[in-house]
Amino acid sequence: MRPTLWLRTASILALIHSIAHTIGGVYGAPDPGPQQIAVDAMKANTFVVMGHTRSLWAFYHGMGLAVTIFLTAEAIVFWVLGTLVRDSDTDLRDLLVVFVIGYMALAANSLRFFFYPPLIIELLIAACLVMAILSIKTRSKVSV
């Protein structure tokens, strides 16, 4: 396959990751019992941070939305890179390696602190990026 198709696939997977994270992680309802008790405690206890009163829940919710924003931005970047790799002589391999390393770190984080669905999609995105890197043909530069 061509690198554009791999990057578009990574883009769609990142968008799916963003949507699933938002629905399940940011706006998902806690189960009754221990989960609800923990959420209530996070919401009830507030403290002043840099002149603003916040709760642990505000930080948790805000960071969840931040992840959603960045996953969506990455989905757009991967789509744009798919066009760039097709229409330009720019070598994107070094940039894609950075994203591969980032997604492998996310996968390790998901394995350690979360659960299998995000781990799987992060590994699939990393694999698509690796395949894009491997399918980029080296273009010979002609000097004038």
For 54, phi then psi, to 5°, come to: -135, 165
DSSP 25: I
C-alpha of 19 from chain center: 11
d(CA 135, CA 3): 5
Parse the chain into domains and list their residue ranges.
3-135
pLDDT bucket at 142, cuts 50 / 70 / 90: very low
Structure tokens at 91: 């070598």
Structure tokens at 88: 């330009």
Question: Tens digit of pLDDT for each residue in 93-141?
Answer: 999 999 999 999 999 999 999 999 999 999 999 999 999 999 998 654 5
Q: 143 pLDDT exceeds 80?
A: no
13-26 pLDDT, tens digit each: 999 999 999 999 89
Calpha distance 14→103 (Å, rounded) = 10
Q: pLDDT by residue (tens digit) across 38-91?
A: 999 999 999 999 999 999 999 999 999 999 999 999 999 999 999 999 998 889
**The total number of residues written for the chain in this structure:** 144
